[in-house]
Structure 1
Amino acid sequence: MYGFIRRSVQWMALLFCGLSTTGCSSNVLVFHPAGPVSRIEEHLIIMSIILVTIVVVPVILLLWYIVRTFRDTPNNPAPYEPEWSESRVLESIWWGIPIIIVAVLGFFTVKDTFALTRPPEKVTNPLTILVTSLDWKWMFQYPGQQVATVNYCEIPASRPVQFVLTSNAPMNSFWVPELGGQEYTMPGMAMRLWLQADQPGIYYGHGANFSGKGFAHMQFNVHAVKQTQFDAWVKHLKRTAPPLTMDGYHGLVRPSVVGQMSFSSYPPTIFRDMIMQEGGMYMKRDMTILGTAD
């Protein structure tokens, strides 16, 4: 039954995209969850659509019935009651049902939202990745491995990843639709986002907040691989990629569009220094957010 409802909601979403805009892809990524976080969020989306439909559809049908029944036409048999003012039954229905729907939706939204502030699965060795949105590119730093990348991210499959997000440019929004919901990147802030990929694969990510003329180029891929492949990738970068120097970092900060880049090392304090120079609202309270678990 749930599978039928899920497919029905997907088709309704595709139909809405087709009717509302020509730029909406036929492959709605949020309805193709590839991890525990995105599955929870997909369930919330479907539940929200169903609950809203419970209200919207009867209201539309009732509107059609009222207009058709009480329209001003000759010999209309509908009762004419100019002194009618209220109905406790109707008042209870159109106030009671929305209150129940909002309460149900609010309960599950709060429950799942707070659950997603923790790793999607209990593990002792999550991977921490520091993410910085720049103009117009994404930089990923691995504090446990001391390597860095630009415009692509490598993660082990079936292992929770804690993304710690900030910005050294206008505010943006980090989003990998198949793995989970978006989280904002803001100067002076260090925001957490837990994601996990169930299977190896390449997952599309992009900035979901308009940030100027290069916004369309703020795309990246998340490569989920087996743990052994991830370890081999780190060793390969250590041997072959150039180091990221402070001069190189300052060059990345300047507005520009670049392709994928890899670095065998980076100045270890640039992420913390960048946040602190903008105020460091979270860093002053919780310096352990940078964790170095490998």
Structure 2
Amino acid sequence: MGTVRRCLCIGLSALLLSGCNLIVFNPKGQVAIDERNLIILATGLMLLVVIPVIVMMFLFAYRYRATNKSADYKPRWASSHKIEAVVWGVPLVIIIILGIVTWVTTHALDPYRPLDSDVPPVNVQVVATDWKWLFIYPDLGIATVNELALPVHTPVSFTITSDAAMTSFFIPALGGQIYAMAGMQTRLHLIANETGEFRGIAANYNGQGFSDMHFSTLSTTRADFDAWVSKVKAAPQKLDRTAYDALAKPTIGHRIEYYSTVDQGLFMAIVDKYEGMNKGKAAENREAKAQPTDTGTGAMTTEDTMAKER
């Protein structure tokens, strides 16, 4: 009995202490704030039913206990329209409210939906590999490994893929979670409301190095972001196809790296590696490659070529 009591005390203490830094309820971005509010609202609405039921369970058990001889005993009691109205009406109202809220927020918090802002977004291409994160800034011509920087109060548009097993891209402090899959591109839009350093993780198990597949997210002022970009551009490493092939090899606990230049089209080349997984894409590419080139003197069609060969 003493052991059970100690275990319960330890478990309760751990639960209470974990709430001190429960990042989901301490968001640093507008998307995360909206998601937190939705969680609180939905939970509160459901507790309107759950709490009274739990209270009545203990109340009825106490009132109608075997030793309480004063409790009314009505074996022929049939039904009550008032009770029926409450039992069915309250859950119905809650379901209607939850349905409306879910409909509105599902569209408002769609990860593919660009955020409303007067500030132009920062575009970031994300590649998940074994077991590290590659961030390419196509408009800036730089790339980093396991470190993501973004200016505060500025929307960030992520285009995400994987060059390994499927995983999930997640920055809990900023909200949103979306899968990274080989041969596919998913989208996510986030914004930071505060400066700071936030933890990003792989939220889907993807192998041996899963627990070490995390990265730092730096939310900075615009001036500090520009200084960070200058630091990355001064790095000696360049990310060409050969350097990427070496980077993509499985590693665990990979260090932060900076690349001052990136091969244009590297991200799409990574996506297109798996075009065989998308039969429509593969057929489209083969058709595009088969199209003749017009040199100005007339284009030769595939049928003309075959007739000439015959």
Give the TM-score taking structure 2 as reference length: 0.77
C-alpha spacing 1:51/1:20, structure 2 compared with 1 (3 Å): farther
Helix, strand or coil for the counterpart of 2:134? Answer: strand
Helix, strand or coil for the counterpart of 1:166? Answer: strand
Give 1:69's aligned amino acid: R
- List aligned pairs for 1:247-258, cutoff 5 A: 247-257=242-252, 258=254
8 Å contact from structure 2 (residues 235, 258) kept in 1: no
The Cα of 1:18 is off from its aligned counterpart by 4.1
The Cα of 1:203 is off from its aligned counterpart by 1.4
| Partner of residue 83 from structure 1, selected from 64, 76, 85 | 76
Structure whose alpha-carbon radius of gyration is higher = 2
8 Å contact from structure 1 (residues 164, 193) kept in 2: yes
Question: Counterpart in 1 of 2:105?
Answer: 112
- List aligned pairs for 1:28-177, cutoff 5 A: 28-71=22-65, 73-74=66-67, 76-117=69-110, 118-123=113-118, 125-177=120-172
**Deviation sequence 1:213-240 (CA, Å, 0-9, x none):** 2111111111112223323322332232
Q: Which has the higher contact order (CA 8 A, sep 6+)?
A: 1
C-alpha spacing 1:83/1:268, structure 2 compared with 1 (3 Å): farther
Question: Counterpart in 2 of 1:270?
Answer: 266
Helix, strand or coil for the counterpart of 1:26? Answer: helix
The Cα of 1:27 is off from its aligned counterpart by 0.5
8 Å contact from structure 1 (residues 189, 280) kept in 2: no
The Cα of 1:105 is off from its aligned counterpart by 2.3
Give 2:26's aligned amino acid: H
Give 1:191's aligned amino acid: T
Give 2:246's aligned amino acid: G
8 Å contact from structure 1 (residues 188, 281) kept in 2: no
| Partner of residue 199 from structure 1, selected from 191, 194, 202 | 194
Query: Runs of 5+ in structure 2 lacking a partner?
Result: 1-8, 285-310
The Cα of 1:45 is off from its aligned counterpart by 1.7
C-alpha spacing 1:186/1:281, structure 2 compared with 1 (3 Å): farther
Query: Runs of 5+ in structure 1 lacking a partner?
Result: 1-14, 286-294
8 Å contact from structure 1 (residues 18, 24) kept in 2: no
Q: What is the number of equivalent residue pairs in this alignment?
A: 269
Give 1:139's aligned amino acid: L
Aligned-pair Cα RMSD in Å = 2.9
Give, in whole Å, the separation in 1 of the partners of 2:31 and 2:24. Answer: 11
Give the TM-score taking structure 1 as reference length: 0.81
Percent of paired sites with the same residue: 35
**Deviation sequence 1:244-294 (CA, Å, 0-9, x none):** 122322233232111111111223323223333542989x99xxxxxxxxx
Name the stretch that deviates more: 35-44 or 76-85. 76-85
C-alpha spacing 1:281/1:100, structure 2 compared with 1 (3 Å): farther
Give 2:229's aligned amino acid: V
